[in-house]
Amino acid sequence: MPRTLDGQITMEKTPSYFVTREAPGRIHGMSPDTKLIVVVRNPVTRAISDYAQTLSKTPGLPSFRALAFRHGLGAVDTAWSAVRIGLYAQHLEHWLRYFPLSRFLFVSGERLVSQPAAELGRVQDFLGLRRVVTDKHFYFNATKGFPCLRKAQGSRRPRCLGGSKGRPHPRVPEAVVRRLRDFYRPFNRKFYQMTGQDFGWD
């Protein structure tokens, strides 16, 4: 990490940190005062989105159902990373061995889309920053299905998520979605209890 002077905040983003076993110990060893921001979304939607991204890079992949379950609609296959990542309570338990809950901010991926300024207001508060990002900084891009940042002063165009974001998801049978919802429910509830936040996924 670069040196940070008084009055500066250094940020780094890596989606895999939260699910990488070695990450909490290494980050704590580097800086035990680090603030941690974790963006989470409904684990069923997240798994389907993960699959859509992989499918775009690897055509001919087995169906979502074939990867998510063993033997048809048997046991959920937690060895598949798209499923395992959504077990947020298990990942958080490991992180809490190194960092107190007060060092974390859990951001709702759903609210980041529906109310971006409000969710970023929470981020600014958590980081001890003055709230400068407001509703006026966003517009909804109907093509992507996401909010985008309005054109910054001196910029030629607005900022939007990259081409890999906002792609359509493959159709997944309702029975598969229902089974996954049932599977994640106890993990979600434990996560709500651990964080003191109800993300409304059930």
The answer to whether 16 is annotated as binding is: no
Whether 46 and 170 have beta carbons less than 8 Å apart is answered as: no
Residue 25 · residue 92 · CB < 8 Å? no
Helices (H), 4-152: 23-30, 43-57, 64-68, 81-84, 88-95, 109-114, 116-126
Establish whether 168 is an annotated binding residue: yes
CA distance 160 to 147: 8
Task: Identify residue 41 by its one-letter amino acid code.
Answer: R
Give the CA distances from residue 20 to residues 42, 94, 97, 104, 171, in Å, rounded to whole numbers and listed in that order.
Answer: 20, 10, 14, 16, 30
Please tell me whether 166 is known to bind a ligand.
yes
Cβ–Cβ < 8 Å for 197, 86 = no
Is 94 known to sit in a ligand binding site? Answer: no
Known binding-site positions for 3'-phosphoadenylyl sulfate: 41, 49, 165-169
Known binding-site positions: 41, 49, 165-169
